[in-house]
A and B are shown apart, each in its own frame.
Chain A
């Protein structure tokens, strides 16, 4: 059965159904409904909703709850995610899983409150200091928000690292019909490493990111990067839409991919051979799908709600063998299908 849900609320309900009972957050637009939904639901199911004193505190509460071995999450929007960078880095350095949701708005600084994709660099390159990655998943529909929340928790647990859902104010605020998974549909993975009290039955566990001996720290980081390599091999995801015969391949994720799809459909109506690659994982970046699409394309067009933060990743993926162009709007402006179509027409 499908229900009509707002993106932010769907993210929250999906997290609960994925077994999350611990939410720590701080108010910020445009993710407000997510926290509000949690504050309503969590007390009814024996969970924790805690409004922290800051984003910094909230992410560190997530760190603590995750260290205790439970599924924990926080949600925020761009300026708040900057504050969470500290805790995300510590969790990466302590091999702790968690879910962070970013319902992006315009930046930099206080920016605006309209939809944006200007945190791509932050999410995929530098959520915090140090050598590390987090998993970044980018939904483009409310249904996909539901599906990816569950996947993000599973991947975070499997690889013991933080995962982020990179959404935006448009997806967070829009309503679409969704089908929700069964509650507690599957058992949660055991976490033998957790700091849950040794009960006199094992040596003590230390959840830690401090290593003062350089060769030890180097080894740990290298081990983590070996794990990242596995993830790059196994976990890339992208949707390929009408790419088989495409001369022009549009590349867009999240909200801007909805616009891009509209433009691609219009181009096809005109008989133009245009397709779309929609990255679903932003880290690991879906290099394989892009390479495949680029192998016969004459041009690529990256469409974003930013100044073109994903462009370099696309160029690297196709090794600059195919020209990569860009069209984007930023500051909370949303490109229209007509604008994108105009860019496509220039490239055909």
Chain B
């Protein structure tokens, strides 16, 4: 029988631990597919961050380094500066990238580090059991905002693509989601572009993927997709926030 569809070679055979309905699996596939299509697997080095996706070092078949919480882009900076010929990416959640790692994120971006950042925004801390994230929505109920996120005391969500697009070092900042086939295709192209930018030496590229966490949202997989569409998409508009055609490196 002819093979018409299979998983990318850049994914290992290890069974993933993600919950039913979690979108990490889709995004892993898109990252792996981009590396495969660009022929970059052999010189790719990924940085796993603390959170649900930390064990992605077992799922991607390229070399992998696990970073302390929030420090993925500092670790990626070291990896890239040591071996500029390698294709270096981070895979980070919202707590990692936009709370404990905000400084590392902003400064890797403003330096225009020639790396690719995959940012999973699911508006909650998944691994630790559903606490408020920097990206939790106003009014969102989490384990640590049991009465809903009160912006008077807990502040407002961090809009990462909007914030980073103000920095001169950023070559690409795009927000996508993977709630349907059309959007998966847009996400696939954005992720591939973020890697192509690195191969072309264009500088810092980030793709923010609005994602679901059915387990910690307390919803079924289908309900979770609907919640994302009804609540996250209006607050976090999809689109290209910055795209510098010629890159940011002189």
Contact = CB atoms under 8 A, between A and B. Distances in A.
Nearest to A56: B71
B77 A50 contact: yes
A230 interface: no
A180 B155 CA distance: 56
B67 A61 contact: no
B57 interface: yes
Interface stretch (A142-150, A207-215, A268-276): A207-215
Contacts of A206: 57-58, 63-66
B36 to A, nearest CB: 12
Contacts of A62: 78
Size category of the B interface is 35 or more
Contacts of B86: 68, 196-197
Interface string A56-83: 1110111111111110100000000000
A197 B62 contact: yes
Interface stretch (A86-94, A235-243, A249-257): A86-94
Nearest to A212: B55
B173 interface: no
Contacts of B83: 68-70, 196-197
Given A53-B103, A54-B103, A200-B41, A60 B75 contact: yes
B65 A60 contact: no
A219 interface: no
Interface stretch (B22-30, B42-50, B241-249): B42-50
Contacts of A58: 74
A60 B57 contact: no
B42 A200 contact: yes
Contacts of A204: 12, 60-64
Contacts of A199: 42-43
Most buried by B among A67, A70, A87: A67
A209 B55 CA distance: 11
Contacts of A63: 65, 67-68, 71, 74-75, 78
B194 interface: no
**Residue among B47, B54, B67, B80 facing the most chain A CB atoms (10 A cut-off):** B67
A265 interface: no
A62 B60 CA distance: 23
A24 B78 contact: yes
Nearest to B71: A60
A198 interface: yes
Interface string A307-323: 00000000000000000
Interface string B97-124: 0000001101100000000000000000
A197 B42 CA distance: 5
B79 interface: yes
Contacts of A86: 68, 71
B79 A64 contact: yes
Contacts of A201: 42
B81 interface: yes
Nearest to A200: B42
B68 A52 contact: no
Contacts of B62: 197-198, 204
Nearest to A209: B66
A94 B57 CA distance: 14
B75 A61 contact: yes
Contacts of B63: 195-198, 204-206
**Max chain A C-beta neighbours (<10 A), residue from B42, B66, B103:** B66
B1 to A, nearest CB: 27
Contacts of B81: 22, 48, 50, 61, 64-65
Q: Which of A53, A60, A206 has the most CB of B within 10 A?
A: A60
Contact of B44 (A57, A67, A197): A197
A61 B44 contact: no
B2 interface: no
Contacts of B44: 197
Contacts of B103: 53-54, 56-57
Contacts of A90: 67-68
B76 interface: yes
B220 to A, nearest CB: 28
Task: Identify which of A57, A72, A86, A199 gathers the most chain B CB atoms within 10 Å of its CB.
Answer: A57
B82 A64 contact: yes
A205 B65 CA distance: 8
B77 A64 contact: yes
Nearest to B111: A50
Given A197-B44, A198-B62, A206-B64, A60 B82 contact: no
Contacts of B66: 94, 206-210
Interface string A18-34: 00001010000000000
A232 B44 CA distance: 38
A181 B106 CA distance: 40
Contacts of B58: 206
Given A68-B78, A197-B85, 12 more contacts: A56-B74, A57-B74, A57-B77, A58-B74, A63-B71, A65-B78, A68-B86, A90-B68, A197-B42, A206-B57, A208-B48, A209-B66
Interface of A: 22, 24, 48, 50, 52-54, 56-58, 60-70, 72, 86-87, 90, 94, 195-201, 204-210
9 contacts: A57-B71, A61-B74, A63-B68, A63-B71, A64-B74, A68-B79, A195-B65, A199-B42, A209-B66
